[in-house]
Every structure is written in C-alpha cells, then in structure tokens.
Chain A
Amino acid sequence: MTDPPLLAVEQLSVDLPTPRGRLRAVDEVDLRLEAGCSLGVVGESGSGKTMLSRAILQLAPRHARLGGRVLFDGQELTTLAAEALRRLRGRSIAVVFQDPMTSLNPVLTIGRQIVETLREHLAIDAAAAKRRAVELLVEVGIPAPEQQLRQYPHQLSGGMRQRVAIAIALSCEPRLLIADEPTTALDVTIQAQILDLLARERQRRNMAMILITHDVGIVAGRTDEVAVMYAGRIVERAPTGRLFKAMRMPYTEALLAAIPKLDAPPHTPLPAISGRPPDPTRRLPGCAFAPRCCYRAARCEEHKPSLTPIEGTGHEYACWHPIGPRV
C-alpha cells in the first residue's frame, strides 16, 4: 500500500437501462493492478467482463450509468474531460479487441492505420512514423513488413490482422494494455502464438495487462493474477498458481471442469454447468451462482456473500460454502 497502483478500480458499477428494466452489467467491482503486472479476467459470456473493460476506458455506452471510481496512475478517469481521455486512450491505455476484422478500418491500408496512431499521439514526422511502423510489424512477427504496410486488412489472415491490431496497440508504448478476448476468433495454433507474443511484449516493455477471456486455460500460464467474474461481480481472485492449486469458489471449479481434457478417455461425459447465468435485470438476493451450484444451501439463496480474503495469500473468494483447499 506504499505506492499507488497503476490502475485502481473502486466500487465500479455499470447500469444499462433496457426495456425489461435496469440491467446491472458490472456490480461493485474492486480491482488493483500494479505497473508491469498482468491480470486475467475470466467468465462466461454475459458475465460483465467486456463491460468492465469498457468502463475502465470510459467507453461504456452513452446511456449507461456508471458508479464508483477508476484511478489510472492516481488520475480519476470518471470525471476526466473528453479531450484528456482521448489523449490517454491509445497513448497510455491501449486495447486489443476480439475481432480484428471489425477493429481495423477495411478501407485504409494497415500502414496508414499504424502511422495515424503514432502521429496522433507522438510528435513525430511522417517518415519517422513509417520507420517506426516497420519496426512494430517486425516486433509482432509479420514477415516482409514494408510490403505489408500497403496491404488492406482483408488481404491478411485472421492471425496476421490480430498481430496488426497488437502492433497498433503497442505503438505508443502504453503502460496498460487491455486485451479483450484477443484470441477467441482465432484457431488453436494461432491462438498460442498470439498469447505468447502478448506475454513477451508485455515483459519486454514492462507493461501492465488485463487479459479478458472465457477460457480458463488461456490465463493459466500467462498472467500473474486471475479474477473470475460471474453476473457482473468478481467471485474469486488469486495469484494464478494459487487459484489453480487451491480454488475455493465452486463456480471456478465448474468452469475448469467443463473444458474437455486431452488426457481424459474419449466419450467421457463433461461435467457441464447446468442452466444459464441469471437474468441480469432481476437481481437475486443471494449468491448469483446458487441456482446452478451443486453445493448450495438455504443461506446461499438468501444472503449475498462478499469477497473474503484468506490472510497473507492475496486470495479472495465470495462463497458461503467454499470447496476445501486441496494441496
């Protein structure tokens, strides 16, 4: 608690008005991320992961109502003027989105898009920006960068496009990179390459990273800390190694069990989580996971558990009936 963290999110909530009532997409989330550290955010679709990242960037939909505070490097973002935010995004905080085809402009060459970002944020001339663009493409592993600069996004494969999106994100040496499902649209082999690329560049630049995904396997070897989200809340958070060794939250366990394992015999029925996430417009009084949980008891349906820390481990969980530590 000596230095202020690079990113501090305090009691952040996002409410979206819908015809069926107020939808609480993010529910009082607290996060801290130190400079150079990486955090994985895991959850099913609809759990509020993406809305959390948008809220950090102040990119939530206009009609959304935000509560709480977002402090980046000690600076409050929720009250920052639009112009100041614009200078911050892309420069200090960069994002890589899921679908590189929609995050790149289809009618501009990739060279133009990289140079545009560089010249927008850094005071450099066109020739220097172009040289830097070539360097960036080399860094993200794109062969023949000079020629590639003249290509349009549709002329590149999905993996290459995502590399370009990463090059743009890294172009201004951001201090925080938010990667929102960066590999979900890619197949397994490319996925491993992109994740390794992100991890390598993060270490090289001492950049902080938030990696958002629905696949627990992706964060396992690549982040310092993991936060599991369910129904807009963080339900478990721990250093990565500890989370996988001693998870306490039944939801984390269920999420992990639902992944097919290569070493399981064929035709093994998968322990799927039954049912669906709760309707976010109707908030449950108790634990949001209780209707699908196999350990639930009366108390789970009546009172909402809050995040409880385990002393001295950095591990927190929100559950009345945590599963025992397995060592």
Chain B
Amino acid sequence: MDGPLLDVRNLVVEYTVGDRTVHAVSDVSFDIARGETLGLVGESGCGKSSLGRAILQLVTPKAGRVQFDNVELTGLGSASLRRMRRRMQLIFQDPIASLNPRRRIGDIVAEPLRIAGIGNGSTRERRVRDVLTVVGLEPDQVVSRLPHEFSGGQCQRICIARALVIEPELLVCDEAVSALDVSIRAQILNLLEAMKARYRLTLLFIAHDLAVVKAVSDRVAVISAAYARSARPRRSTAPRRIPTPHFCSKRSRCPTRRSGRRAACRSASRLRRWRRLPAAASARAVGAPTDAAPR
C-alpha cells in the first residue's frame, strides 16, 4: 500500500518517420496512487495515446522510467513483461475496430485468460459469463454472436469485459467514450465508475473532452502538444469556456487530496523549460488560424 501504483518519470517517446524525428512525448512525469483515477486531457496529436501505450510498453520509450508497483517496466524481458501486462489492460477508442470481426464474443473475452494461462475451459467460461453479466450484457444472448451484431455501445461493453476478465489493477482508457453517442457515453462512463469500485481499479483516463474527464477523475493532467503541463487536483480544473486553442496554462499549486502537500504532483514542478518541438509546431498550426478567437 506504500507508494503509487504507477510512477512515470521523464518519459520520452519518439518516432522516426523517414529522416524526421517526431517527438510524441517529451519528458513527462506523473504518478497514480492505487484506486485513483488520473484524467489525461489534450488535443489530438499531443501525445496522449503514445503516453498510454508507452506505459504498457506497447511502444518502447526512448528514455525515462515506468514503474508499476515498484517494478521497472522499461527494459523488462518479454516473458516477465507478459506477466506484468496481466495486471494492466487497455481500452481503445473505436470499440468495433478493436474486436476481431471473425471471432465470437465468448472467445474474444476469454482470450486474455487463455494467453495468461489462467484456469481451464470451464472455469474460463464461467469467468467470461460473470464478467459479461457485470458489464450489463446477457451471456446467453452474447457469447456465440459476432461483433458486427452489436452496436457501438455494446461493443465497448464487450471491450471493457475483455479488459476486466483477468482482473487487472490498472486500466488505461484511451478515448474510450469519444466515439460514442451522448446517451451511450453516459452509460459507459457510469459503467466505468461502477467497475472501478467493484474491481478496485486504478484508472488512467485519456480523453479530449474536459467535462468527460472531470466526471470520472480524481486528478487531471493536461498535455499540451507533447508535454504534460500539470497534474492538479480535480477541483481546480474548471475553465469558464472551452479553451481554444490553449488548455489551462496555470501551473499546479494545489495540494493533493491525500497528502495535503503543495505541488505533490511532481510532474508540474519538474517541468523543464517549454520547448517548441516539431510535433508541437504542427499542432499549433492547426490550432491557431484566424477564427480561433475566444467566443
């Protein structure tokens, strides 16, 4: 119970495109306590998704450390990494695209168990049926059907069931509700909150919509074109209007809920000087045409 569940220090993610280097994530540090939800907000192209993926080592970070439950993930061998990945799962933006269209729902949801080598056929089936019930689907009507027979909201429930079936500790939601309609989005947000309580999850909730992030997060970090600018307690994130094109620029001065210490969100205090990066420059070009004046 000591120390954060996830501790990210000075993480750098870069991609090489042709002869150009794209700085997707530049020197980002934050931590997430057990049972906490950290919201991560930013425009598209600012590196939110790269950050989420780098935490799970789905892309190899260029530099920096990622500690999960005091185990350093960067540089871990593939076998030990696979064992660690059982404890962290990911939900993607497009629920339909992230389900294999040719496989039955029962198989899709059982797959994490099979890969992790947990249980035998019948115990796996029982766990699949349990988790489908928990996310609000009727197992008898669902297990033998294919993804195209379901709506977007139902597919996202299936994705959530697949992520939860091996009972992870950390769930990374990468724009998990952005592709959904307003009414379905509310259902899925409520479901995530219920699942968090039921499975004692720690959540990294990545989204571009501040109101959605506020609805589920304990703390919020804002990423601005490849740079985490602040991780501040949730109550202070209430801008008056949609910030165009900049998000909140004030640095975190707020005590966290737990410790009460100032600037416990070290990412803010350890920020290096703001640099205009190639990725940042292109993101600005999109964000700053003439009609960007505040309403």
Chain A interface residues (CB < 8 Å from chain B):
44-45, 141-143, 157-160, 163, 186-190, 192-193, 196-197, 200, 214-216, 221, 254-255, 258-264, 266-274, 276
Q: Which of A141, A157, A261, A269 contacts B211 (CB 8 A)?
A: A261
| Residue from A192, A216, A261, A276 within 8 A of B182 (CB atoms) | A216
B187 sits at the interface (CB 8 A): yes
Report the separation of the CA atoms of residues A44 and B291 in the bound assembly, to the nearest whole angstrom.
Answer: 29
B77 within 8 A of A: no
Chain B, residues 200-218, CB within 8 Å of chain A (1/0): the string is 0000000011111011111
Report if B295 contacts A (CB, 8 A): yes
A259 touches which of B182, B243, B286, B289 (Cβ 8 Å)? B182
Q: Is B69 an interface residue (CB 8 A)?
A: no
Complex contacts, B151 vs chain A, CB 8 Å: 276
Chain B residues contacting A215 (CB-CB under 8 Å) are 182
Once the chains bind, are A258 and B215 in contact (CB under 8 Å)?
A: no
Look across to chain A and name the residue whose beta carbon is closest to the beta carbon of B187.
A272
Write the chain A residue with the least CB distance to B218.
Answer: A266
Of A260, A261, A273, most buried by chain B (CB within 10 Å of CB) is A260
User: Given contacts A157-B45, A260-B189, A266-B217, are A193 and B183 in contact (CB under 8 A)?
Assistant: no
Residues of A close to B238: CB separation below 8 A: 262-263
Question: Chain B nearest CB: distance from A198 CB in Å?
Answer: 10
> Would you list 25 pairs from A and B whose C-beta atoms are within 8 A, ordered by A residue?
A44-B182, A45-B152, A141-B291, A157-B286, A158-B44, A187-B43, A188-B209, A189-B242, A192-B295, A215-B182, A258-B185, A260-B189, A260-B211, A264-B214, A266-B214, A266-B216, A266-B234, A266-B235, A267-B193, A267-B215, A272-B183, A272-B186, A272-B189, A272-B190, A273-B186
A42 to B87, CA, bound (A): 41
B244 at the interface (CB under 8 A from A): yes
- What are the residues of chain B within 8 A of A163 when measuring CB–CB? 289
Nearest B residue to A276 via CB reads B151
Give A200 to B235 CA distance when docked, in angstroms.
35
Kindly supply a per-residue 1/0 record for chain B positions 138-154, scoring 1 wherever the CB is within 8 Å of any chain A CB and 0 otherwise. Answer: 00000000000001110
Cα(A192)–Cα(B292), bound, Å: 8
Which of chain A's residues have a CB closer than 8 A to the CB of B119? none
Alpha-carbon separation in the docked complex, A142 to B183 (Å): 34
Q: Looking at the assembled complex, report how far the CB atom of A51 sits from the nearest CB atom of chain B, in whole angstroms.
A: 16
Query: Within the assembled complex, what's the spacing in Å between the Cα atoms of A216 and B181?
Result: 11
Q: Which residues of B contact A269 (CB under 8 A)?
A: 190, 193
Which residue of A is nearest B152, CB measured? Answer: A45
Provide the residues of chain B in CB contact with A272, threshold 8 Å. Answer: 183, 186-187, 189-190
CA gap between A270 and B187 in the complex, in Å: 8
Given contacts A141-B291, A200-B291, A276-B151, contact A160 B286 (CB under 8 A): yes
Q: Are B183 and A188 in contact (CB under 8 A)?
A: no
Q: Once the chains bind, are A189 and B243 in contact (CB under 8 Å)? A: yes
Q: Does B245 have its Cβ within 8 Å of any Cβ on chain A?
A: yes
User: For residue B193, which residues in chain A have a CB less than 8 angstroms away from its CB?
Assistant: 267, 269
**CB-CB contacts of B252-280 with A at 8 A, as 1s and 0s?**
00000000000000000000000000000
A271 touches B289 (CB 8 A): no
Given contacts A262-B238, A270-B189, contact A188 B208 (CB under 8 A): yes
A171 → B minimal CB distance (Å)? 18
Q: Contacts of A259 on B, CB cut-off 8 Å?
A: 182, 186, 211
Q: Are B181 and A44 in contact (CB under 8 A)?
A: yes
In the assembled complex, B79 has its CB within 8 A of some CB on chain A: no
Is B101 at the interface (CB under 8 A from chain A)?
no
Nearest CB in chain B: distance from A293 CB, A: 13
A residues near B153, Cβ cutoff 8 Å: 276
Q: Are A270 and B190 in contact (CB under 8 A)?
A: yes
Q: Hey, which chain A residues are within 8 Å of B216, CB to CB?
A: 266-267
Q: Kindly state whether residue B287 has any CB partner on chain A within 8 Å.
A: yes
Measured between alpha carbons, how far is A142 from B286 in the docked complex, in Å? 9
- Beyond A214-B181, A260-B189, whether A193 also contacts B214 by CB under 8 A is no
A273 CA / B285 CA spacing, docked (Å): 39
B16 within 8 A of A: no
**Out of A44, A216, A221, A270, which one reaches B215, CB within 8 Å?**
A270
User: Given contacts A44-B183, A266-B217, A269-B190, is CB(A260)–CB(B289) below 8 Å?
Assistant: no
Contact (A270, B217) CB under 8 Å given A45-B181, A189-B243, A200-B291: no
Contacts of B212 in A (CB 8 A): 260
